[in-house]
């Protein structure tokens, strides 16, 4: 471990008060790239510790987004717990949380009133459902509810299926990515100004940002979006087809690709058909084109055909399930599965040549590092023992007592 190259964010200290997905996903990426992440949970723990399925490392949900962190448990409902947070923030670069808007203010730890003055270099990242104010300000946000209220469900699915939730927690994950970008932008700006700032990142805004090109089309032309299933609203062919061995996706994003795919499939007459000579015409005659291509593809092998098409520069793939993707040779070639002992999780997608990300520690039981973190904050063992006894802080049961 000591021989590992330093990550790009080595030296950054992050106090992570977030739970569930958006915040922990963000801080795991920071930790993968070298930042010191102190994850502080309430004594009951991050609720995802109780979410199945469960493996040797406990909750797969929790362990998948909480590596490369130190784990403490502090009760902020107690004044002594809040005082301890202030001590942890001394020398910290970032505080991230996803409490409801106003929670830290009620605890006497608001950014504007307290933290900005005490810690002028602190980058304070607040993740909420809808922001602090406005008609929905301060209300709780949950991924699927945000997908519904922000219009994401309305454009997902087919005309027959009705609105559908996207199968991943895409709003939470995307919000975590936006929080990551915001933190890094603020850190870069701080190099010039010497000052931190407050970052307001909410699920609602991020979900609205996913509505491209649907929102742009409506705002600029008045065209109301419709559900198009696995078809692209602006491109054809760019959709699912049935083959002898299962479904595949074929996309021809421009005229050159369409000519190439027709030649490859032995149906060049389609690229010369007046109905299909431009993308606008192909979209206009999408259903006729789909039926003609479906006849050509029906008896083909999806995997082999898609591989051959890709190697010819034509976007295509068999529609794969999660187990087959995780077992795929390219997944492993890209180091997108991390393994250490019983820990197995998705790998690090950001590859850097000089300062690569790395797995330095796996997720730990609640409170594993509480004592060491309290010591680093200047507390004596006697003070820590008293705080453990009155449950202001919590240690993992197996953690040695001094």
Query: Minimal CA–CA distance to 14: which of 31, 215, 4, 1?
Result: 31
Q: With contact defined as beta carbons under 8 Å apart, do 229 and 164 qualify?
A: no
Q: What is the largest CA-CA distance in the chain?
A: 84
DSSP 155: G
- Taking residue 273's Cβ as centre, other Cβ atoms within 10 Å add up to 17
Q: Is 232 a residue of the active site? A: yes
From 33, 232, 290, 332, active-site residue: 232
The Cα 100–Cα 98 span in angstroms is: 6
The Cα 362–Cα 57 span in angstroms is: 9
Task: Indicate the SS3 state at residue 126.
Answer: strand
Q: With contact defined as beta carbons under 8 Å apart, do 298 and 242 qualify?
A: yes
Q: With contact defined as beta carbons under 8 Å apart, do 99 and 402 qualify?
A: no
**Phi and psi for 227 in degrees, rounded to 5?**
-75, 130
The Cα 42–Cα 40 span in angstroms is: 7
Residue recorded with tokens 């870069």 = 188
**Phi and psi for 293 in degrees, rounded to 5?**
-70, -35
The Cα 321–Cα 266 span in angstroms is: 29
H helix intervals, 266-354: 268-272, 279-284, 286-297, 302-311, 322-327, 329-333
Query: Minimal CA–CA distance to 306: which of 388, 231, 249, 238?
Result: 249
For the chain, what is the total number of helices (H) and then of strands (E)?
A: 18, 14
Query: Which residues participate in catalysis according to the annotation?
Result: 232
């Amino acid at each position: 471990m000591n021989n590992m190259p330093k990550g790009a964010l080595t030296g950054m200290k992050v106090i992570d008060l977030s739970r569930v997905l958006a915040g922990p996903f963000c801080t795991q990426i920071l930790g993968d790239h070298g930042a010191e992440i102190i994850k502080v949970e309430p004594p009951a723990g991050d609720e995802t510790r109780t979410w199945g399925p469960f493996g040797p490392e406990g909750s797969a949900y929790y362990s998948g987004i909480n590596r490369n962190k130190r784990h403490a448990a502090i009760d902020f409902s107690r004044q002594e717990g809040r005082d301890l947070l202030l001590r942890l923030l001394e020398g910290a670069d970032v505080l991230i949380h996803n409490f409801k808007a106003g929670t830290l203010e009620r605890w006497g730890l608001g950014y504007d009133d307290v933290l900005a003055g005490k810690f002028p270099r602190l980058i304070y990242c607040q993740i909420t459902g809808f922001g602090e104010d406005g008609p929905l300000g301060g209300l709780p946000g949950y991924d699927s509810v945000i997908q519904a209220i922000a219009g994401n469900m309305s454009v997902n699915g087919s005309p027959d299926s009705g609105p559908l939730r996207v199968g991943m927690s895409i709003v939470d994950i995307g919000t975590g990515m936006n929080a990551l970008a915001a933190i890094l932008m603020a850190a870069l700006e701080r190099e010039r100004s010497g000052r931190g700032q407050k970052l307001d990142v909410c699920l609602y805004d991020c979900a609205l940002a996913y509505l491209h090109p649907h929102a742009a089309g409506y705002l600029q032309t008045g065209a109301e979006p419709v559900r198009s299933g696995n078809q692209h609203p602006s491109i054809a062919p760019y959709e699912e087809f049935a083959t002898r061995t299962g479904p595949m996706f074929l996309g021809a994003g421009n005229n050159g690709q369409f000519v190439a795919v027709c030649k490859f499939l032995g149906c060049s007459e389609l690229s010369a058909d007046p109905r299909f000579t431009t993308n606008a015409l192909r979209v206009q005659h999408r259903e006729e084109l789909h039926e003609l291509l479906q006849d050509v593809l029906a008896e083909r092998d999806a995997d082999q055909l898609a591989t051959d098409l890709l190697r010819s520069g034509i976007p295509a793939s068999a529609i794969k399930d999660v187990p087959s993707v995780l077992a795929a040779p390219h997944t492993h070639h890209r180091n997108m599965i991390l393994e250490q002992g019983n820990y197995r999780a998705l790998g690090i997608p950001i590859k850097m040549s000089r300062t690569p990300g790395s797995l330095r520690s796996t997720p730990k039981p609640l409170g594993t590092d509480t004592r060491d973190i309290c010591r680093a904050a200047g507390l004596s063992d006697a003070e820590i023992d008293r705080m453990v006894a009155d449950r202001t802080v919590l240690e993992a049961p197996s953690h040695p007592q001094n």
